[in-house]
Amino acid sequence: MNSPEATVQTPYRKVIEARAPTLSGSSGIRYAVLTDPGRSRIFLTILANEGGGNFNREIVAFDDIEEAIADQPADTPFGVKVFRVAFIGKSNNNAGFLAAALVHAELLAPSEVKHKYLKTGDWPAFEADMLARDAAETFLFPPTLPDTGQAVVTPAEVIPVLDKPAKANRRGGNRLIPVDAAPAVEEGGDADHP
């Protein structure tokens, strides 16, 4: 087994943590709004999904979210796939979960066209409000497992307990894979099929 490399954690300030219904309304997600320690930028991250869908745990800059829809004409509905460019990970749920958080924050609203959304709210005011808020909690990314002190992308404290068994996902997704027990995986393969 390969020894895990040390992961450098990046500190953020957690401004808010909230639950938002998914766009379908069938379950919910938990998300957080973060700032950098100097309070110059804000970020969003999806913490958990109450349903069974995978997503990539990433810190997404608010600037990148705004840029993703900058070319959308005003008052013209758009699909949530436009948010995919804000993510490094390729999970199909990333964009939808981000959109659910933005709807909850009143920065997007459903349009009259099914599965299409409109930019709403005052985005600069939202950003200014988040930067001005005091945050009592430091948020380290990637978080650590309390027992080991090792950083992992999917900590047990943010993974919801599901009544049904989790789907096998060799790429990680929102599954907990302790660093010291993770199988060695070659790029482009998996543990069973090199």
Q: What is the mean pLDDT of residues 61-70?
A: 95
pLDDT for 5-50, tens place per residue?
556 889 999 999 999 999 999 999 999 999 999 999 999 999 999 9
Q: Which two tokens stand for residue 149?
A: 């002190």
Q: Which two tokens stand for residue 173?
A: 């997704």
**What's the pLDDT score for residue 32?**
96
Q: Using DSSP bridges, classify how beta strands 60-61 and 108-110 pair: parallel, antiparallel or unpaired.
A: unpaired
Task: Let me know: does 42 contact 35? Beta carbons within 8 Å.
Answer: yes
pLDDT for 124-151, tens place per residue?
999 999 999 987 788 888 876 555 555 4
Answer yes or no: is pLDDT of 152 > 50.
no
Q: How confident is the prediction for the chain on average, in pLDDT?
A: 78
Taking the C-alpha atoms of residue 112 and residue 52, their distance in angstroms, rounded to an integer, is 28
Under DSSP, is residue 42 helix (H, G, I), strand (E, B) or coil? Answer: strand
Q: What is the mean pLDDT of residues 165-190?
A: 41
Answer yes or no: is pLDDT of 92 > 70.
yes
Task: Name the pTM for this structure.
Answer: 0.71
Residue 24 DSSP one-character state: T
More confident residue, 193 or 160: 193
